[in-house]
């Protein structure tokens, strides 16, 4: 199974209610970490819906396909 065919998604990593990092993922592979204070980080946070994870073992996350339509 190749991860090349999988969508790129973003996970917003939170600590004490603040986003500290954005992980760009393709399948289970971590591609890069984006600073949420950067221009790209602000654009990603402003254009994607945040869904809170109910699992306490993992950080709260936002996951949206990179191809999502911006509104």
pLDDT for 61 equals: 47
- Evaluate whether 51 touches 61 at the Cβ level (below 8 Å): yes
pLDDT digits (tens, 9 = 90+) for 43-63: 999 886 666 654 444 444 455
Q: CA 29, CA 1: separation in Å to the nearest integer?
A: 13
Cα→Cα distances 67→29, 54, 64, Å: 18, 25, 8
What are φ and ψ of residue 66, in 5° steps? -65, -25
Q: CA 62, CA 45: separation in Å to the nearest integer?
A: 9
Q: CA 8, CA 53: separation in Å to the nearest integer?
A: 19
pTM of the complete model: 0.62
């Amino acid at each position: 199974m190749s991860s090349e065919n999988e969508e790129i998604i973003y996970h917003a990593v939170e600590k004490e209610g603040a986003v500290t990092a954005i992980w760009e993922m393709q399948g289970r592979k971590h591609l890069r970490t984006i600073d949420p204070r950067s221009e790209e980080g602000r654009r990603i946070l402003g254009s994607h819906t945040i869904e809170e994870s109910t699992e306490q073992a993992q950080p709260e996350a936002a996951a949206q396909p990179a191809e999502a339509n911006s509104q």
